[in-house]
Structure 1
Amino acid sequence: MSLELAVVIPAYNEEACIQPVIESWVNGLSKIVPQENLKIIVVNDGSKDKTGELLDELAGRNSNVTVIHQKNGGHGKAVVTGYEAALELNPSYIFQTDSDDQFLVEDFATLWNRRFESKFILGFRQVRHDDKFRLLITRILKYSLYFIYGTYISDANIPYRLIEKDFLKKLIDSLPKQTPFAPNIFLSVLARKAGQNTLDIPVHHIERQTGEVSIRHFKLLKVCWQSFKELFNFRVKINSLVKKIKL
């Protein structure tokens, strides 16, 4: 029986919540997709705590979970590693979320039930529980995308997205050779420019209860400027890439 859904979850220093978070996704998704058609890929991005050890223990007792360990390269590289591993499994759809326990598995059904309406579906955090500085940066990013690409996306970097497998393969092949800091933003822009309606479905966002945000204030501003430059430079290639994606 072919795989119906592969889920990509990057993880970094989440020992306090990683096992219950992954278990909740396995249990919740198996009510929607049969367990034999479901695989969850967790990418341990060089965690310095017990995250990797706990994931290996979990995978040892749950065949739906696969763990990939890599040197710390940041959230973006972990996401791309997960996407590439998921594509190798050849599922019908690939879903990506995060491991910090800020999203609900219950919201997944809303995206899944509308999967035939678009090849690239995004959630949208109507109420976002982050600090004011991060919210300001997010707003600046939103209008930067409109300025650079003429594309308005409600939540371009949200880690709550459902993508049809063949379409994701084209998008991944279109990314810059050097993985961008925030590849999910690039994928969102490419999808919209290629004519996909991202639907922007409201999902819950919960205040973080464990761990710490890895990028704060000045560092966040620095990486956002890096992302802006990457996106600005990418504009030169995007039209030719979009034509290939549409084929």
Structure 2
Amino acid sequence: MSVLLSIVMPAYNEEEIIETVVRNWSAFLDTHFQPLGETRLIVVNDGSKDSTGAKLDEIAPKYPRLVVVHQKNGGHGNAVVHAYRKAVEIGSEWVFQTDSDDQFVAEDVLKLWNKREESDFIMGFRQVRHDATFRLFVTRVLKYSLFAVYGTMISDSNIPFRLIRGSFLKKLLAQLPEPLPFAPNIFLAVMARKAGQKTFDIPITHKERATGEVSIQKMKLLKVCWQSFKELFRFRQELNEKVRAIKAA
């Protein structure tokens, strides 16, 4: 069985909103993709300490496209990669990644979908971003750090709103450094751009978070950003070899 599109998302301590998120994204798939082919919604519960995992198991019978995966807490990046690998494993032609905090509008996926014949890796861009000032500052620093280290300008390199051809995603995942970096989506974006993909940076809607709270804040955020910068700086030595492998695969 071929799967046309899999939507993948990590989930951590989102008990207040997770059922709404599953309902909204399932309705989106039913409305826009049901006539086109098989779809899946893959949610990876990253060792939530609240009832997120139990709620996902409870509602799963109501949503036939929902695939629930439970793992020990490994962090957002680890859960994203786990979800990507699951989507590749089931033979997804296209994979869309987002987060489970209900800060995006599902219909914006169509903006990326309409560009799928032009690129194997397409990203959204939070032109107006509803996050704390400190997080916005860190994102700006990251953008210019990528330009300094890799000579490539990506407006929103870690955005959880990206559409990737499944076969190309498989190649990218094979080249991720081990151990997994803190923010693997940044590495995927850099490799895709360097491999010649036109990632577009399509403006999409970003909403304010209505429930829960951001798990990484202020000094912890600064610490993990410094960690990510060091990982990216080290990776520059491997990048050309990785890109050659992606193109040759």
State the TM-score bracket (shorter-chain normalisation).
Answer: over 0.9
Counterpart position of 1:11: 11
**1:205 aligns to what?**
206
User: Using the alignment, how far apart are the partners of 1:22 and 1:152 within structure 2?
Assistant: 33
Q: Counterparts of 1:115 and 1:206 in 2: how far apart (Å)?
A: 25
Deviations 1:132-178 (CA, angstroms, capped at 9, x unpaired): 00000000000000000000001100000000011000100000121
Q: CA deviation at 1:22?
A: 1.1
Structure 2 equivalent of residue 83 of structure 1: 84
Give the Cα–Cα distance (whole angstroms) in 1 for the partners of residues 50 and 163 of structure 2: 30
For 2:30 and 2:91, locate their aligned partners in 1 and report how far apart those are by CA, in whole Å. Answer: 19
Identity %: 60
Summarize deviations over 1:39-85 as a string: whole Å, max 9, x none.
01100001011100111112122110011111111000000000011
Q: Deviations over 1:185-227 (max 9, x none)?
A: 0000000000000011100000101000000000000000000
The answer (yes or no) to whether the contact 1:29–1:105 under 8 Å persists in 2 is no
Give matches, 1:180-195, under 5 Å. Answer: 180-195=181-196
Aligned pair count reads 247
Cross-structure match for 1:66: 67
Aligned to 1:47: 48
How far apart in 2 are the matches of 1:31 and 1:113? Answer: 16
Tell me the distance in 2 between the aligned counterparts of 1:161 and 1:96: 6
1:165 aligned partner: 166
Name 1:145's counterpart in structure 2: 146
* SS of residue in 2 equivalent to 1:4: strand
Displacement after TM superposition at 1:92 (Å): 0.7
Structure 1 SS opposite 2:152: coil
Name the CA distance, whole Å, in 2 between partners of 1:107 and 1:67: 24
- One-letter code of the match for 2:157? A
Q: Which amino acid aligns with 2:48?
A: S
* Letter matched to residue 9 of structure 1: M
Gaps of 5+ in 1: none
CA RMSD of aligned residues (A): 0.9
1:28 corresponds in structure 2 to 28
Q: Is the 8 A contact 1:5 1:95 kept in 2?
A: yes
CA distance in 2, matches of 1:47, 1:169: 27
Name whichever of 154-163 and 105-114 sits farther off: 105-114
CA–CA distance in structure 1, aligned partners of residues 224 and 97 of structure 2: 21
| Residues 139-148 or 105-114, more deviating | 105-114
Deviations 1:83-119 (CA, angstroms, capped at 9, x unpaired): 0111001011000000001001010111111111100
Q: Equivalent residue of 2:3, what SS?
A: coil
**Runs of 4+ more than 2 Å apart:** none
**Secondary structure class of the residue paired with 2:92:** coil
**Equivalence map 1:74-113=2 (5 Å):** 74-113=75-114
Q: Structure 2 unaligned segments of length 5 or more: list them.
A: none
Q: Which residue of 2 aligns with 1:219?
A: 220
- Structure 1 range deviating more: 29-38 or 112-121: 29-38
Q: Match of 1:235? A: 236
Q: Which amino acid aligns with 2:100?
A: S
Q: Residue 29 of structure 1: CA displacement? A: 2.2
Deviation at 1:30, TM superposition (A): 2.0
CA–CA distance in 2 between the matches of 1:63 and 1:92?
Answer: 19
Partner amino acid, structure 2, of 1:31: T
Q: In 2, distance between residues paired with 1:42 and 1:220?
A: 24
- Superposition TM-score, scaled by structure 1 size: 0.98
Deviation of 1:182 after TM superposition, in Å, equals 0.2
The answer (yes or no) to whether the contact 1:18–1:99 under 8 Å persists in 2 is yes
State the alpha-carbon separation in 2 of the partners of residues 199 and 193 from structure 1. 14
